[in-house]
Chains A and B, each alone.
Chain A
Amino acid sequence: MKRNPLPSMLMMLIGGVFILPFIFMIVASFKREAEVLQPDQILPKTWDLANYEAVSRNSVEAPVGLWFVNSVFVSSATTLLVICLSSLVAFAITRIKVRGAKFLLNMIVGTMMIPAQLFLIPLYVILSRMGLLDTPYALILPAAASGYGVFMLSQFMRNLPVAIEEAAMIDGCTLPEVFWKITLPLCGPSIATLAVFTFIGSWNDYITPLVFMESVTNYTLPVGIALFQSSYSTQYGLTIATSLLSTLPLLIMFLVFQKQIIESMTSSGLKD
């Protein structure tokens, strides 16, 4: 059967439209300010690094490098903590099947229906009492209590065959050994998915650091660049270069793992 080439061409065109803003973004970051304000100047006359030099100066009012380090630390720590804690919980619930496991899972999944915004005000009060406001832990610890990882890993572990674990127990493995040497490696793919989504979510979080962070030096990138934009709103080249830097790690990660990211996104969202 001969296939109609029209849908392919049309959709490639649409794909091009979606990607165009990225291209404008990259090109604008290398333009001088006067050229950024001239849309008919599609390519810069000279590819200028002034915007990036300005960003790398790490000035007191806009320490972009520091924000980058904060973002890396918060996202990595959150991801690591979520993986460790939720795999332990999922193991206790689905493999050891502790008493009350079902109730616990229902409660954790149930609280996932509460919108994140409801937690902002009480968490602010609690974190302030604990002296954790304006520290990275205000972003890491509450995020590690999220139920998403527990839900996802429980779902995955439930479908693993118990035979291997039982055999290991008979051979004298202790429970922690079974968890560490058998169950965790078997969960590899779904842990990788969880890691990617936790990292992206934490990296892109805007409202939480906006509320819990006070000092400019403690901001993560999204809040930092938003502040940066409100003080340099007339310098598009500079703010666009900063925005690009704030997404670069995720864009690189996406370009490398796009197939896995897209496929796990669709399979974790829907399974019926």
Chain B
Amino acid sequence: MKARRKEELMGYLFLVPYLLLFILFVIIPVLVSAWLSVVQLDLTNASKSAFIGAQNFTDALKDDFFWQATGATGRFALLMVPSVLVLGTAMALGMNRMSQGRDMVRALVYMPSMLNVAATGILWQWFFNNEFGLFNYTIRKAGGTPIPWLTDANMAMPSVVLMSLWWTVGGTSVVVLTALQQIPKMYFEAASLDGANGRHIFFRIMIPLLKPVLLFVFVTTTIASFQMFGQAAILTGGGPTFATRGVVQYMFETAFNGYRFGYGAAISWLLFAAILVFSTIQARVLKSQVEG
């Protein structure tokens, strides 16, 4: 019994260094952020900050810029999530059927994920350049009309999505491929013996068996899309005329360019609320792993 107590004490000693950081940089920030979101912050004299309740939140809901940013993030997610799902699955199916060179292709499509967002943006800004970018050069050469990739308000978001796809879809396809390869071959053999054709096998066997991984991809891609910031910040700066300025960039500018910390904190809680819906689904998946 005494030995157990000594072990326990040692255990707490093991926890101390991490817990100090966890309290200081996770728990306290959450509390501070909650406090910031309900006060009118006076940066010069914190004691003069006044409690204003939900006003930061109601202000946000009446703020046209906030809704514009929400719309931009929503549009990014609406374009990005289905594209990642379809393209990622298609690439995984393609790789699964390769008779040779699969490992090499897997590495090639995954490689863009290694780049930082700034390098990716700089590279693609050059591709997207109206006059001497690769894309418009090729279009002109083929006799088409050049596309104002980043300078047109309607075109800018699809361009951001295109770059983001190159950047991340390889990772998705690799995850789906792994799941595909874990499906026992005999399922397909049994199905074809029973006379199932390719389409039947795809829709009745593959897709249902891939459901967990596709759900995982759907949730993580949606969450990541809601947090979109760097791609647009580097490629367009959020323009033209705020067409690609998402919620995170708006929060960033509100807090660190406009010094409205309370309002920025409120926006970050609204973002959290939107993400929470999707991360609860993910938490269930995580939980089955923790307990399994």
Cα(A145)–Cα(B21), bound, Å: 5
Pair B118/A225 contact, Cβ less than 8 Å = yes
The residue that B99 contacts in the complex, of A4, A21, A272, with Cβ under 8 A, is: A4
The residue that B22 contacts in the complex, of A97, A99, A108, A258, with Cβ under 8 A, is: A108
Size range of the chain B interface in the assembly: 35 or more
Cβ–Cβ < 8 Å partners of B36 in chain A: 121-122, 125
Cα(A162)–Cα(B7), bound, Å: 15
Pair B94/A14 contact, Cβ less than 8 Å = yes
Contacts A14-B109, A25-B123, A225-B118: A125 and B18 contacting too (C-beta < 8 A)?
A: no
Q: Does A114 lie at the interface of the complex (its beta carbon under 8 Å from any beta carbon of B)?
A: yes
Contacts A85-B18, A96-B8, A229-B118: A109 and B290 contacting too (C-beta < 8 A)?
A: yes
Those of A140-158 within 8 Å (CB) of chain B: 141-142, 144-145, 147, 150-151, 154-155
Cβ–Cβ < 8 Å partners of B112 in chain A: 18, 21-22
Q: Does B234 lie at the interface of the complex (its beta carbon under 8 Å from any beta carbon of A)?
A: yes
Cα(A11)–Cα(B109), bound, Å: 10
Cβ–Cβ < 8 Å partners of B292 in chain A: 271-272
Pair B255/A86 contact, Cβ less than 8 Å = no
Q: Does B205 lie at the interface of the complex (its beta carbon under 8 Å from any beta carbon of A)?
A: no
Contacts A114-B272, A222-B119, A246-B118: A28 and B14 contacting too (C-beta < 8 A)?
A: no
Those of B262-292 within 8 Å (CB) of chain A: 264-265, 268-269, 271-272, 275-276, 279-280, 282-283, 285-286, 288-290, 292
Pair A141/B109 contact, Cβ less than 8 Å = no
Q: Does B251 lie at the interface of the complex (its beta carbon under 8 Å from any beta carbon of A)?
A: yes
The residue that A126 contacts in the complex, of B22, B24, B171, B252, with Cβ under 8 A, is: B24
Cβ–Cβ < 8 Å partners of A243 in chain B: 118-119, 122-123
Stretch binding the partner chain, chosen from B62-70, B127-135, B148-156, B193-201: B127-135
Those of A228-272 within 8 Å (CB) of chain B: 229, 236, 239-240, 242-244, 246-247, 250-251, 254, 258-259, 262, 265-267, 269-272
Those of A82-99 within 8 Å (CB) of chain B: 84-86, 88-89, 91-92, 96-99
Q: How distant is A152 from chain B, measured CB to nearest CB, in Å?
A: 10
Cβ–Cβ < 8 Å partners of A144 in chain B: 18, 21
Cβ–Cβ < 8 Å partners of A150 in chain B: 18
| Residue ID in chain B nearest A112 by CB atoms | B286
Stretch binding the partner chain, chosen from A33-41, A48-56, A58-66, A184-192: A33-41
Pair B10/A155 contact, Cβ less than 8 Å = no
Q: Does A115 lie at the interface of the complex (its beta carbon under 8 Å from any beta carbon of B)?
A: yes
Main secondary structure of the interface of A (DSSP, over half): helix
- Of B10, B134, B264, which is in contact with the most chain A CB atoms at under 10 Å from its CB? B10
A-B contacts besides A14-B94, A125-B32, 7 pairs, CB < 8 Å: A18-B170, A37-B131, A118-B271, A120-B268, A122-B29, A126-B32, A179-B14
Residue numbers of B with Cβ under 8 A of A are: 7-8, 10-12, 14-15, 17-19, 21-22, 24-33, 36, 91, 94-95, 97-112, 114-119, 121-127, 129, 131-134, 137-138, 141, 166, 170-171, 174-175, 177-179, 212-213, 216, 220, 223, 226-227, 229-230, 233-234, 248, 251-252, 255-256, 261, 264-265, 268-269, 271-272, 275-276, 279-280, 282-283, 285-286, 288-290, 292
Residue numbers of A with Cβ under 8 A of B are: 3-5, 7-8, 10-12, 14-16, 18-19, 21-22, 24-25, 28, 36-40, 84-86, 88-89, 91-92, 96-99, 104-105, 108-111, 113-126, 141-142, 144-145, 147, 150-151, 154-155, 175-176, 179, 200, 203-204, 206-207, 211, 221-223, 225-226, 229, 236, 239-240, 242-244, 246-247, 250-251, 254, 258-259, 262, 265-267, 269-272
